[in-house]
A and B are shown apart, each in its own frame.
Chain A
Amino acid sequence: MDPAYFFQQLVNGLTLGSLFALIAVGYTVVYGIIQLINFAHGEIFMVGAFGALGTWIILGRAEITAWWMLPVMLVGAVGVSVLTALLMERFAYRPLRRAPRLAPLITAIGISVFLQEFVRLFYGPIPNGLQRLVFGDDIPFEFPDAKAAPVFPAIEGVSGGSFVIGGVTLQYAAIFTVVALVLCWIGLYLFVNRTRVGRAMQATAQDPDTARLMGIDVDRIIMVAFAVGASLAAVAGIAHGLQYTNIEFRMGFLAGLKAFTAAVLGGIGNINGAVVGGLVLGLVEVMATAYIPGTFGGSAWKDVWAFALLILVLVFRPQGLLGARVVDRA
């Protein structure tokens, strides 16, 4: 076995896993507090990527690719994602909080389809049309059509570049993804454990009724949970754009499903579990692609193995690797 090949796969797996982990946190945070599988969370990731692209088109005039555009795009992406998540919570999920379990799940499917189609149909036409109303035909910020996969801006020093250590290629975009995960993880840890709001989140997760009695505004905490998850998903959206150069309105479905797998793998409701689960899932997927011999190996089967892992985990260890609350609800 070639060690360089193995380490290359390790790096690829960790990179992919970091992406899953960033999204998985969103599932876990929301689930931890209101036991809702926010099935539409994958679309928040997608919306974040498109938000970043839009920010770049407006503030970067679709040409600036210096490194400092990255934080600017980040702010835009987080803003769009958080806004979408909050609207979703307020108008779709909150009215159903006491409904039977089936209702929010079906709502989530509806939101998921709606957001995908909304981006597909209106990402270009709405901003371009509004500008035409103001500026006439010569519009300053031309938004691409989302029906084809638009190209994500290549940021200098991050996109495309790479260096090699001992036969292992490290892409800057991959390093960005992993570093982003580490920073987000640390930030989330500090937020949850050191701030008032974070502690209120923990209290609500343990016992919403008692938390309410202690003066915690549970509705606000739920909104915070959605916002936190959406922020990390937006970061993941940018990381995805930088790594794969194109973004697509469909990309949220598969990524969301895999991230959910990761969240369950780590133990849903457990933030550290989501990160660990994401990394493990990424490694498993990459390693399975690289090392399963014969016709069942290769990239054609990688999604099959990921979903098979999801089923196995849900069936045999629903509490996940790190263990959290066990789901037992009809």
Chain B
Amino acid sequence: MRLPQIVTDERRRRHGGTGWLVALVGAVVLVGAPYLPWAYGDEAMDDMTYLGGPSPTQFLGLALGAALLVCLLAARFLVPRLPAARRRWFAWHTGASAVATGALVFQAVVVVAVALELGGLVNVEYGGWIALAGALLAFAGTRLLVPERTATLGRVHSPAWLVILVIAAVMLGSLLLIAHALDEDDPGVFIALLVFVGAAVTLVLRIGLGGWFSSQTARFRPVLVMAAFLVAFAFPFTQDGSNANMSIATQVLIFAATALGLNIVVGLAGLLDLGYIAFLGAGAFVAAILSGSAFSAVGWNPPFIVTVLISGVVASIFGLIIGSPTLRVSGDYLAIVTLAFGEIFRLVMINLDGNDGPDLTNGSNGIPNIPDLNLFGFDFGEPHVMLGVEIPRFANYYFLLLVLVGLVIVVFANLNRSRIGRGWVAIREDEKAAEAMGVNVFGLKLFAFAGGAFLAGVAGSVKAHHDISVTPDQYVFLESAFLLAAVVLGGMGTILGVLVGATLLRLMPEKLRFFDEYRLLAFGLLLVVMMRFRPEGLIASRRRQLEFHEDDEELAAHTGEAPPGAGRAEPEGAR
């Protein structure tokens, strides 16, 4: 179902000039408004009460306005002067509409945040309203601009030093951004920052720089990956020995590692698993039982390397058990089977308390007092000093988890490109056809389950030590739903997407504490809205995007792959 189109191509062509002018006025207002006071109280966000001195948040608004201004001016005055070959390098109009939408959301968030934090809309001072009005003007005006076809900057070949410089700059920028965002305590500022980043990224992608970045960095893929890993590695050194942000970061990493494992099962093999958290739980319980905790029913306490392997193997045995029905069951039924399995796991863990069954897991109290890890004499529970910076407990686990996530990513990427990965995709697309082509359907499905479960089990074994205690109620259905949501939200079958999805889903509740009560409500709504409007996720793999928008010819033309049955294109609307 499509929304009715108010702005048609016809209207765009006729009123494009007016739209440009309106948007220009909006952009100028957006640039000017930050110099006016936005709120009557200095407790709202980051003190936006001064005339002539913008606060950091106001500067973000200014930056959006300035970007819009640049887009508009470049489209009108720069493009006609360029040689014809360079005119299509940037999609200025498309970028302008993206940044104007972002600015509107940004200003709306600011107004709402001020109203909430100071108690009422009366606390928004005239500057805030002017900025909002400017954003509205910019938004309305940019709707009338004729969007360009795709930008061609991606085809331009750039020198190596430039590409590597850009990679370094992007990575450094994201490190500083993450460190800054995590330090932000004010929920309003945090959301505004998030909106700003979203708007900036969309602008960069839409204007054509995204295409350039992905096509140019493809040559330097190892450099990019190494840089990303370096940034992640450097993060604890920005924290001055503080545990607070590191504990959030470790939770994000555990969650991300598990979600990446689930992504193998759901994203690559297309098998919907609603009980995946049970594998994490299996690994955690095995590690807890073998940890030497006083509450463990088993006395044996092997070194952690052995424990990790046992955790992974036990989890993958569970994976094989749950995967074996996949020979006979598919689609919705498989989802329900896995859900039932997840529930059975949790109930059995509760029941194995020595009362209702043999004593193994200490029942619903779980296993507390799990000792910290000690690998090769390195005690994970103690702070260490590295490079002159104190590395606290959670940062130790952070490094270990980083290695784990790196491992999962390597496994994922290699599987994706291998014969196995292609087999999975074939099964996902059409099981019968795949079988006819000689793909070992049953074996590959089982391998997806067992492999995904192994990774989750390994993550679980680290989680047990990280959390200190393991209880069955950490592994409820809702957690499986969260994992699935991370995969779906980020983009099924992609690495970056799932990392982004996992980070958002774990970071948001931590930063938006005031929102805690409504967290699940928003989560439910998010799933519904996401499936309705962007089922392929924030960062979509191209194949998925086409799958979910089979009748969208515009997209097919965009990506250069024709969807089935879309041979004939409308003469006008097919851009």
Contacts and interface: CB of A to CB of B under 8 A. Distances in A.
Interface in A292-320: 295-296, 298, 300-301, 303-304, 307-308, 310-311, 314-316, 318
B407 interface: no
Given A106-B484, A110-B531, A310-B336, A329 B329 contact: no
B340 A311 contact: yes
A105 B272 contact: yes
Contacts of A264: 333, 336
A327 B331 contact: yes
B38 interface: no
B329 A301 contact: no
Contact of A113 (B341, B517, B520): B520
Contacts of A107: 527-528, 531-532
By size class, the interface of chain B is 35 or more
Contacts of A110: 523-528, 530-531
B525 A114 contact: yes
A106 B273 CA distance: 11
Contacts of A330: 270, 330-331, 428, 430-431
Interface stretch (A91-99, A149-157, A220-228, A239-247): A91-99
Contact of A318 (B329, B351, B358): B329
A310 B343 CA distance: 12
Given A295-B357, A330-B270, A257 B343 contact: yes
B460 interface: no
Contact of A102 (B272, B337, B351, B525): B272
A69 interface: no
Interface residues of A, number: 49
A295 B548 contact: no
A103 B336 contact: no
A129 B478 CA distance: 30
A73 to B, nearest CB: 27
A117 interface: yes
Find the residue from B348, B523, B532 having the highest chain A CB count within 10 A: B532
A328 interface: yes
A303 B343 contact: yes
Contacts of B481: 109, 113
A327 B333 contact: yes
Interface string B515-541: 001101101111110111001000000
Contacts of B358: 295
A112 interface: yes
B547 interface: yes
A100 interface: yes
Interface of B: 1, 270, 272, 274, 325, 328-333, 335-337, 339-341, 343-344, 347-348, 350-351, 355-358, 428, 430-431, 477-478, 481, 484-485, 488, 517-518, 520-521, 523-528, 530-532, 535, 547-548
In the A-B complex, the 3 residue pairs with the smallest Cβ-Cβ separation, listed nearest first, are A110-B527, A114-B524, A113-B524
